Amino acid sequence: MFDLRYHVASLAAVFFALVIGILVGVALASHGLRNTERDRLERDLRIAESRGDDAQARLDALKDSGALDSTFVDKTYKLVMADRLKGRKVAVLFVGSIDTSIRREITGALSDAGAGDPLRMPALTVPIKTDDVTRNLSKRSPFFVAYAGEDKLEKLGHALGQEFVAGAETPLWNALENLLVEQRGGPLKRPADAVVVVRTVPAQTGPTAVFLKGLYSGMRDLGVPAVGVELTLGDGSATEAFKKARLSTVDDIDTPAGELALVLLLSGDPSVTAHCDQHLCNFGTKTPTADDGPLPSVVPAPTATGG
């Protein structure tokens, strides 16, 4: 709202400045005008100058108001975010190469909410090399063979999604890391309290799409908060894929509202998801994917009480 008002006031000030310039120019070239015409021109000039001064005053007031609004938002953001994720370990998975801007937004939000750095943050290589994955699994023990083959890709993805969240024993991740992981990002041993998924590649088709469907559902099925995120300028296809996999979504992670929505979802607070369809929320600015609006109802963060 401030941006629109500011630009309108700026345009008005420029417009009146132009009018004044035109009138002054006419006045300079109007030596042959009669007194009545000159008086009218001088009156118009005074009116234009007055309106220009008013427009500039409104512009200055909006600048001051905008500075106050920005300060208010910054302080409120910090107050609402404080300790929302204190003590919680959040894992982040990039499907495709790590986007530094998205990583910065996510890590900043986690830090602001008291979670610290992500527990782990690897990047998957997509599309997956189906033949290489099958060949690798087929030459191992019966446990691995059960996940080998194109017809087992969804099952494989599901198991890998659960290993990514649960940590501890991760035999499939260990066996396939060199084939599936483009960039490593932290140990897999510790369990995650919540998970964030980012897709930085175009929508996938064929075997990779099947694999990713299983991966997303595997992370979701362990019962921890699982949220897919996207930038405001994204085309919405990643959000659509996350929704189909029944993950909660935030489609404007590069805004303060998006960061707050992400943190509230990762907190697992049932009051955040109470009004969402089956407790799966889709926050943001895009339509029709942001079914639940830009933000959930913000409730006070729990505080410790003395006994």
Tell me the average pLDDT of the chain: 83
Beta bridge partner(s), residue 95: 124, 199
- Which ranges in the chain belong to alpha helices (H)? 2-28, 35-81, 100-112, 130-138, 142-145, 153-166, 171-180, 206-220, 237-244, 256-266, 270-273
Beta bridge partner(s), residue 108: none
For residue 288, say if its preceding peptide bond is cis, omega within 30 degrees of 0: yes
d(C-alpha 215, C-alpha 246), whole Å: 12
Mean pLDDT within 47-56: 67
CA trace torsion 152, 155, 157, 161 (10° rounding): -160
| pLDDT in the model for residue 122 | 96
Flag whether the pTM goes above 0.85: no
C-alpha closest to that of 128 among 166, 101, 156: 156
Joined tokens for residue 86: 């204190």
**Cβ of 253: how many Cβ atoms within 10 Å?**
26
Non-local (6+) Cβ contacts of 2 within 8 A are 62, 65, 66, 69
Q: Are 134 and 148 in contact (CB under 8 A)?
A: yes
d(C-alpha 253, C-alpha 239), whole Å: 12
Banded pLDDT at 251 (limits 50, 70, 90) = very high
d(C-alpha 68, C-alpha 66), whole Å: 5
CA-CA-CA-CA torsion sign (64, 65, 68, 74): negative
Joined tokens for residue 131: 């033949």
Q: Please state which of the ranges 47-61, 164-178, 201-215, 264-278 shows the lowest mean pLDDT.
A: 47-61
Please report how the helices 35-81 and 256-266 are oriented relative to each other, as an axis angle in degrees rounded to 10: 20
Helix (H, G, I), strand (E, B) or coil at 127: coil
| pLDDT in the model for residue 302 | 58
- The per-residue pLDDT for range 79-132, each reduced to its tens digit, is 888 899 999 999 999 999 999 999 999 999 999 999 999 999 999 999 999 999
| pLDDT in the model for residue 60 | 63
For residue 191, say if its preceding peptide bond is cis, omega within 30 degrees of 0: no
